[in-house]
Structure 1
Amino acid sequence: MEKPEGLSRRHLLALSGGACASAALPAFSQSKLDSDPPFGLTGRFVQGGYAVGKGTPGADIVVDGTSRGPVGPSGWFYTGFDRDAGPTCHITLKTDKDQQSAVVSVLPVTYDIQRVEGLPQDTVTPQDPALLERIKREAALKAEAFASRIDSDAYHRGFDWPLNKFVVSGHFGNQRVLNGTPASPHMGFDMAAPTGTPIHAPQDGLVVLAEPDLFYEGGLILIDHGQGLISMYLHQSELLAKKGQWVRQGQPIGRVGAKGRATGPHLCWRLKWSDRHMDPSLMVVNRTA
């Protein structure tokens, strides 16, 4: 069992209460860190990772200078570190009376280059006007779903694996070369399994998109777990959940397939927090699979 780590001295740069700016935050001693970590932060403090903490309900969450919405009624809040996150992340909680800030270090990750051959060429470099129009329509559907912000804190309990048995066939963040053409980094965690293998919701959430046959993603489901943390399940052969449905951890939501841009049956599992892409496997509490 490998659980999210608490904040250690290598991650914490500074913490302050009151109204002072983060650039002027004083450093704490080791004893202070051990007894009073900022916001009780836990998580995985690496590129593609995350932090979960507790603060004043309703406080504005400001991450790297951008407001990310309010702390939930229970006090939990989430912060994601992008695939290309810089070495530090500034987290501030603001209320009408005061603010508290922390600056944590985000450790770098070395990404491999992954070469994928045998894809239909129109999924790599689409040219047909009708196809480009379809891609545009589907992008609008996904953008609407990604704008979801439900009031839930299910994320703080961590995730389960969405498949009971699988082989890792692609790691998050790898630089992709598709049919010999350099492409954007791979923002998913690929899990190879036979067609029809049940896919389970890794944590409670609201299904905000359920489309059976998108051009790139094939069968696609998006689940909002709260505060804009949305998980994605690509290339499904069959959907078992519908848009607007609340799903519970462990509930079947679909089946593995090879629809869309895929060379074989697998689940491409993705995770996004607003405009930041994270590695969903880092959210798994039990990582022995």
Structure 2
Amino acid sequence: MRCLFAAAFAVLLSAAPLHAADLSGPVEQGALVLGQTQPGTAVTLDGQPVRVDEAGRFVIGFGRDAEPSAELVETGPDGSRVVTPLTVAAREWDVQRIDGLPPKKVTPDPDFLARIRTESAAIAEVRAVDRASGDVFAGWVHPVEGDTVVSGVFGSQRILNGEPRSPHSGTDYAAETGRPVLAAGPGVVSLVHDGMFFTGQTLMIDHGHGVQSVYAHLSRMVVAEGDVVTAGQKIGEVGATGRATGPHLHFGVSWFDRRLDPQTVLGVVGRTAQGG
């Protein structure tokens, strides 16, 4: 009887009129947005296919310099379509000045450029993965054990030793060397590198649906690529490796190649935000 009821419910659900997806989170530059649509629906954002799981859940993201408008298109199992225009709110970005860096870390010698390109390619390869997992929807936690001070915010224009450089792609949490660094959310360790030019000891975690988190400048890493981790599990320790003037964790989140604001992300997928 239960099987018959479940089958009948699935038929009714698939026959239900398609409506605009429910979106959770601010639609703004740097944001991660959670979506819920009818199971079996195909979704695109500005023509880019978006993974939808069997429960109809999906995620979309908007980079720091996202255009002011986007288009979300849903195509139901019966071919019906719903087009939702999205207005992406603009944000104002801070200017952050950092002095005292070794000159070669601000303007790398030509000898280091090949290394930087290789490291960037490895990160890009990881970010391109679209793993079928609902880990991104589980409750996330703060990535550093104990209280911390935010010493660098996402999106800020960085002036390094007086020279303008790329905007900051994550959030910096100042803490003493050796403070435990925690997996922000459940997932699979997708990259472990013991010494990148800019970010030093660096690791990344794949949370599914194209969402990756990155932990940089570590003094120690205690996981390996392929390890399955849970939210709050120790994965390393705060350090000052790579381009850093003092011990801190650089915490980043991305949706494929789009860098997102980690503080905004935690406000959407954090355990407190989800009522956990």
Question: TM-score, normalised on structure 2?
Answer: 0.85
Runs of 4+ deviating beyond 4 Å: none
Question: Which of 113, 121, 125 is 2:103 aligned to?
Answer: 121
Aligned partners of 1:158 and 1:283 also within 8 Å: no
1:224-269 Cα offsets, whole Å, 9 max, x none, are 1111011111101111111111111111111110000111000111
Matched residue of 1:133: which SS? Answer: helix
- Whether the aligned pair in 1 keeps the contact of 2:197 and 2:242 (CA below 8 Å) is yes
Show CA shifts across 1:76-133 (max 9, x none): 100111111222221112345222232222222111110111111111111232x222
> Which of 139, 143, 152 is matched with 2:120 structurally?
139
Q: 2:243 aligns with which of 254, 261, 265?
A: 261
Name the amino acid aligned to 2:185. Answer: Q
Q: Which amino acid aligns with 2:209?
A: Q
Q: Tell me, yes or no, if the aligned pair for 1:217 and 1:235 is still in contact at 8 Å.
A: yes
Confirm or deny that 1:47 pairs with 2:32. Answer: no
How many residue pairs get aligned? The number is 251
- Unmatched segments (≥5 aa) in structure 1: 1-16, 19-35
Equivalent residue, structure 2, for 1:157? 138
Change (3 A) 1:187 1:208: same
User: Aligned equivalents of 2:96 and 2:181: distance in 1?
Assistant: 25
The CA deviation at 1:139 is 1.8
Structure 1 residue identity aligned to 2:133:
S
The residue that corresponds to 1:71 in the other structure is 52
Aligned-residue RMSD, C-alpha:
1.8
* Matches for 1:99-114 after TM superposition, within 5 Å: 99-114=81-96
* In structure 2, C-alpha distance between the alignment counterparts of 1:132 and 1:51, rounded to whole Å: 35
2:108 is matched by which residue type in structure 1? Answer: P
CA change 1:89–1:49 in 2 (3 A) is same
Secondary structure of the residue that 1:44 maps to in structure 2?
coil
CA shift, 1:154, in A, is 2.0
Give the AA of the match of 1:153: G
Q: Distance in 1 between matches of 2:222 and 2:250?
A: 17
Give unpaired runs (5+ residues) of structure 2: 1-16
What is the Cα deviation at residue 58 of structure 1?
5.0
* Alignment partners' CA distance in 1, 2:228 and 2:41: 26
- Could you say what secondary structure the match of 2:178 adopts? coil
Amino acid at match of 1:198: P
**Deviation of the 1:157 alpha carbon:** 3.5
